[in-house]
Amino acid sequence: MPIFRPEEPMSLHSDLPTQRHKLGDCELVWDADRNVLELYVSGHVIWDTVPGEPFICASLGASDVEESRGFFSIKDDKLPYTSAQSIESFEVDGEGVKLSGQLSGSVQVPWSLTIRQIDDAQISLTAQVSLPDGEPRLLLRYASTSDEQFFGFGEQFTHLNLKGRRLDIISQEPGIGRGVQPLSWFMNTFFGAGGGETSSNAPAPHYITSRCRSLALENHELSRFDLREEDRIEVELWSNTMCARVFIGSNPKTLIEAYTRLSGRMPMLPSWIQSGAVIGMQGGTEAVRSMAKRLQDAGAPVAAFWLQDWVGARRTSVGSQLWWNWELDAERYPDWEKLRGELEANGSRVMSYINPFLVDVAERETAPKRNLYQEALEKGFLVTRQDGSPYLVQNTSFSAAMIDLTHPEARTWLKEVIKKQVIGAGVSGWMADFGEALPFDAKLYDGSDAAIFHNAYPEAWAQLNREAIEEAGLGGEVVFFARSGFTRSPGQSTLFWLGDQLTSWTAEDGIRSAVTGLLSSGFSGFSLNHSDIGGYTTTAIPGFPLKIPLLDFRRSRELLWRWIELNAFTAVFRTHEGNQPDRNTQIDTDPEMIAHFARFARVYAALAPVRERLNRESTEQGLPVVRHPWLSFPEDPETSKLRWQFNLGPLMVAPVLDPGASEVQIYLPAGQWQHLWSDAVVDSAGGWYEVAAPMGTPAVFFPKDDADMADLVDQLNRNGDRTEALNLPAPRLVVPQPRGGVL
């Protein structure tokens, strides 16, 4: 039973007769015979309540929310929800309709629900209760069906279809392992860092269902979506007022277009980042020069070198970490300007790293020009505790303070730091890390409730980065990539990445979770997204020479090889050495690996025209660059169930996601499909095919008569990047029992 169900038998009562009201193209119906409220568009029910049961309930809670290293432990001791609801009035209110009445049970309070049309694709639902002093809890209950699939909720990594799950919508660290056992148990027990199956850096209180029904909350307060019951959805919000939008659309693309009117849409990526790989590395000037030479010799197009240690690094309990003081370390990177000139002469830019934290750098051996922490402390720009002292958030073996983004002068100060010290260093972009850790009990400059501003902080952090770029006059040319987010982040960001995947094959937190994250986030407006090639989190214990079975994850050669293949078909092709570079296979580990990387960097570059068209659609319609096949083939009943394949424009891609695999199963909708790496053509009536996929040959198909794809094949042939010589066997139709291929 849902956790929100009251202890007393539920009842919905009204003496009102059946009512019908037009809201533009939508019709609102109160059916007195069935005790149900329904919203219709062209005869299609886009939202309806559970017959005979209250659709609004209320309670009072007493919460205990603790932050630790960006993870949040949430406890709520609340009264049972109200069990009875009466509908006493049904009034036309301007261009909308207002229902009102009384709730009874654990508390006795009035309620109201106002329903209005926003535009041709959005209907607003505003639910209100008048609870006494305390922590309000408002519940909205409405109908679902047993076979309805739920997609979206921002970035979700373990499950694509969230039916049967319960989610807390709060931006936080997603965790290490996230259900991979015994790693998750170990990380949760000793560090509180194991996470859970629905925890996310960038969640959103939004979904689209397989019945083409969609809803989002506008609120920033903590919300909880309970999808565990077959016949209902229950949404709890920690507020007296819930502002929801129901979206109108006949297919998933139109629903995404409608939703992104709320979330905002992402801009065009600059052309330079589409020209090749973004190489994530550290080590200083000579290390960069050496890597640039090896990649050039291998024939790899390189768009940029992303140098996250541009500010300097120090040793911590997890290895090497950065000094969070946003100033160039000239000792680590001598001849910075000369290095930039050399790279730019070969067509490569430089990117860097920042986050909204600051650390006191007084203890550095070499004194920096500025101690930004001390400056911010003296100016009152830091998030504080209730007593006014800086609220230091534990990271690993050090603590850091967050900039208070409710403080207008702090925002201006930090933007000036970015313009002068980051953009001023000549970089063309950066990772805008973190943003998830604002504690619920913090004190903010403008008096905002930190428990509410917590989910708004990632949006404000992205907005600040975007404003710094615009104020510097570099809009459209400089790009930052963020990992934290919430509902309106797509409208503020230029690019996302999926955070810190485990260097593993797992569905919970490895390469498979990257595919799930790409697809789920695309439903919620995160249209430009990508993952670290090879994953980030290595769990080997620094300084300990032996592997601990089942707890030790390190990037294998095969994993990196397959992740390279995967990311060549996403929005951005960016590497990361990982948190323990010496324990991971890297792109230059051996000549064969760097040749493989160079080949797929060329494949990625050749796909730039395809991505540019898709990026334009994301800017104009909010559609993702990497798309779930259901978006492209909504009439095919099989596509909504697909899990491990995706579209990049006309390309259907099924990456190899299992160790030791040399073949993969792919679903091809009806039509003639040509294999990208050979001339094999499949005349599909809509079916599953077994496809040979040896190392270097992921399963990729395109419609046979697509002229743009013919141009792509010609370019790959000119570059010598196709593999006809492999004599691959023809794809084989199989019984539709794919290995993990569906939800």
The CA–CA distances, whole Å, from 270 to 429, 495, 586 equal 10, 11, 27
CA distance 521 to 269: 18
Structure tokens at 347: 């067509």
Structure tokens at 332: 């680590």
CA distance 606 to 510: 27
In sign, the C-alpha dihedral spanning 235, 238, 243, 245 is negative
Residues 552 and 187: beta-carbon distance below 8 Å = no
Q: List, in sequence order, every residue forming a beta bridge with 104; answer none if it has no partner.
A: 84
Q: Between vectors from CA 225 to CA 220 and to CA 229, what angle results, nearest 5°?
A: 170
Residues 140 and 242: beta-carbon distance below 8 Å = yes
Residues 453 and 438: beta-carbon distance below 8 Å = yes
Q: Which of 219, 196, 201 is closest to 155 using CA atoms?
A: 201
Helices (H) then strands (E): counts for the chain: 13, 38
Considering the candidates 155, 433, 617, 721, report the single residue annotated as catalytic. Answer: 433
Q: List, in sequence order, every residue forming a beta bridge with 68; answer none if it has no partner.
A: 71
Residues 523 and 152: beta-carbon distance below 8 Å = yes
CA distance 329 to 320: 15
- Which residue type does 463 have? Q
Structure tokens at 443: 């004190």
- Gyration radius of the chain over CA positions: 26
In sign, the C-alpha dihedral spanning 246, 250, 254, 255 is positive
The CA–CA distances, whole Å, from 144 to 56, 85, 474, 708 equal 16, 20, 47, 41
Query: In 3-state terms, the chain is what percent helix, strand and coil (to 5)?
Result: 25, 30, 45
The backbone torsions φ and ψ at residue 336, rounded to the nearest 5 degrees and listed phi first, read -55, -50
The CA–CA distances, whole Å, from 615 to 112, 350, 440 equal 42, 23, 36
The CA–CA distances, whole Å, from 281 to 287, 347, 526, 579, 717 equal 9, 18, 26, 11, 31
CA distance 374 to 383: 13
Known active-site residue 532: no
- Which residue type does 186 have? F
Considering the candidates 500, 508, 509, 690, report the single residue annotated as catalytic. Answer: 500
Q: List, in sequence order, every residue forming a beta bridge with 166; answer none if it has no partner.
A: 226
Known active-site residue 433: yes
Residues 247 and 229: beta-carbon distance below 8 Å = no
Structure tokens at 586: 């890297």
CA distance 262 to 122: 9
CA distance 551 to 638: 37
Considering the candidates 221, 234, 329, 436, report the single residue annotated as catalytic. Answer: 436
Known active-site residue 500: yes
Positions marked catalytic: 433, 436, 500
